[in-house]
Structure 1
């Protein structure tokens, strides 16, 4: 009995000794880390950010609490300010489009070179090859060289065209149409080269413009943006032309990153990798070989809409899926934009991307089962 009491007393002392150490470790972390996302919570982009935050909270047993702020809540209405705010510490994390960070990092315009990936035999394998290859690392190095730590990629999807006038299946079909685009110069130059009149405006202004007939169309990823926003309320024509892709980067403020233990840094990178798989599957669902649907089903995250083309058609849209020959015509029509921007982005980076994509093509030709 005396031994038992002594054991309990020693155990109690041990708890008192260990508890302050554990509290001291936990106290080094913020009670909340802010994660910025430009679109709304119901977009594929927003869902990917929430998935990452939930994974981190669960696997860290609540040690790391990341709160997602969608709809540009942290950006004072200027989404292109996100990189600087993250670098300066006003934001802790961001799941960001390369488009919004491209004003500060020119290399991020690589995936906005018009129709660069669209003419590849498998556009998704081409994008994966860039993310995983030398060119992807060059993009990451450029970002980190300007002061933001990158811990993973994700994907918003290929940006497709929707219009109130159409269908659009050839470059001449765009002549004179007013198309809402983001403010990046490469977008504006691309649509001008195709004969359209690009208009830079916020999304809230764009929807009013659609209703009033001031703007004829817009471009955004299908699963990530167009379907959640019910684009059929404004446009009845969808053109599947895959002209550029919208990769997402998961960035962290460098000082925040240094504040995590090595074990928790490893945990965050692992959660980012899981979020990448989830985000890619959301953006590619119904457009790939079925792998995305199988993956989402396996983790219990299959959304209600699994066939985006049927969904758009059921809601009164005419869907035009361009053939490789039709896409080649758009590719030819935008050659000048690619040439001009290759010089601005850096020929070495573009050559690296072309080599990455060529290596992927060669691998999947030699290993057809692996590519399936």
Structure 2
């Protein structure tokens, strides 16, 4: 009888431990990561955010989950950057241009007419130069994961055709909250007005500003054609986005968790660039069908703009550091040979 009683007790204890273990396992929740972005869910940015979320969940076996929040619902790029630095938000994607006030080396990507094509951009951004610039963010409480593509930026406005340098005179043009963009368009004759992207459509609709500059995809997905009649294909700046992680959050992750984000980030980058480029040509045709008048800036006029911006480029070189500037120019010259 004692043997039977002892067996029953041991069995009950075993079942209790098993039940407790299962309960604890059920209590383990996946690590939730808030990922904010500015455009809507149907945009190229929104599609890539979904790919990133799916990859994180897949690679982590469900132990990590990204909750993607678009349409600037978590704030403007600048507001989200500050939330990441403070540890109140985990991840985001946004323009490199809005980071210049945090990390001056980011101004390198704002250089007018820096890249001739996307192949040059990919090589520089994904290579040692891009890595050096990303690494600078860690000093400021941010981790740069990968660069996505926003694309070559182009001008739109509601007032007139912009076919030459002088046509920019008098146009109240929204630009990003970035000193290089401000100085660039002031030098070209426009009345440059810094505004967060989240306020842009309303400003265009109420005619608080006359125009803006963004890639075709963003112009289309944000429905700027509803307020803008004239589009100039200027390709004046190649604009990257960057996927950011809060360093406070990053430092609390295990090596395996960091590897998941790095691998998922690269997968999302490759998808996003391919998707963005495939969409760009179609977006331009769609904008034409929406009634926008499209003007392609002639090479001679682009050259005149470059000449007007010589002092801007010199200032960028000093700001980002002559070593970084010279290394970038040397690498571009090497590729162009």
TM-score tier by shorter-chain length is 0.7 to 0.9
Paired residues for 1:112-123 under 5 Å: 112-117=110-115, 120=116, 123=117
State the partner residue of 2:5.
none
Does structure 1 residue 315 correspond to structure 2 residue 309?
Answer: no
Counterpart-to-counterpart distance in 1, 2:143 and 2:123: 21
Q: CA deviation at 1:107?
A: 0.8
8 Å CA contact retained: 2:148, 2:240: yes
Please identify, of 200-209 and 85-94, the stretch whose mean Cα deviation from structure 2 is larger. Answer: 200-209
Does structure 1 residue 233 correspond to structure 2 residue 235?
Answer: no
Counterpart-to-counterpart distance in 1, 2:19 and 2:327: 56
Question: Which sections of structure 2, spanning at least 5 residues, go unmatched?
Answer: 1-10
Does structure 1 residue 328 correspond to structure 2 residue 287?
Answer: no
> Deviations for 1:257-287, whole angstroms, at most 9, x for unmatched residues?
3444433322221111110012112322255
| TM-score, with structure 1 as normaliser | 0.78
State the partner residue of 1:137.
131
Counterpart-to-counterpart distance in 1, 2:163 and 2:131: 35
> Deviations for 1:98-120, whole angstroms, at most 9, x for unmatched residues?
12222111111111112222xx3
Please identify, of 136-145 and 43-52, the stretch whose mean Cα deviation from structure 2 is larger. Answer: 43-52
State the partner residue of 2:312.
337
| TM-score, with structure 2 as normaliser | 0.86
Question: For the aligned residues, what is the CA RMSD?
Answer: 2.7
8 Å CA contact retained: 2:142, 2:245: yes
Match of 2:213, SS state, is: strand
Please identify, of 332-341 and 187-196, the stretch whose mean Cα deviation from structure 2 is larger. Answer: 332-341
Counterpart-to-counterpart distance in 1, 2:58 and 2:140: 32
State the partner residue of 1:95.
93
8 Å CA contact retained: 2:126, 2:147: no
Paired residues for 1:74-223 under 5 Å: 74-75=74-75, 78-117=76-115, 120=116, 123-203=117-197, 205-223=199-217
Question: Which sections of structure 1, spanning at least 5 residues, go unmatched?
Answer: 1-8, 288-305, 363-372
Residues 17 and 268 (structure 1), Cα distance of their counterparts in 2 relative to 1, 3 Å cut: farther
> Deviations for 1:245-267, whole angstroms, at most 9, x for unmatched residues?
22122222234334444333222
Counterpart-to-counterpart distance in 2, 1:89 and 1:150: 15
State the partner residue of 2:273.
280
Counterpart-to-counterpart distance in 2, 1:28 and 1:348: 47
State the partner residue of 1:247.
240
Match of 2:67, SS state, is: strand
Q: CA deviation at 1:357?
A: 2.0
Counterpart-to-counterpart distance in 2, 1:352 and 1:203: 32
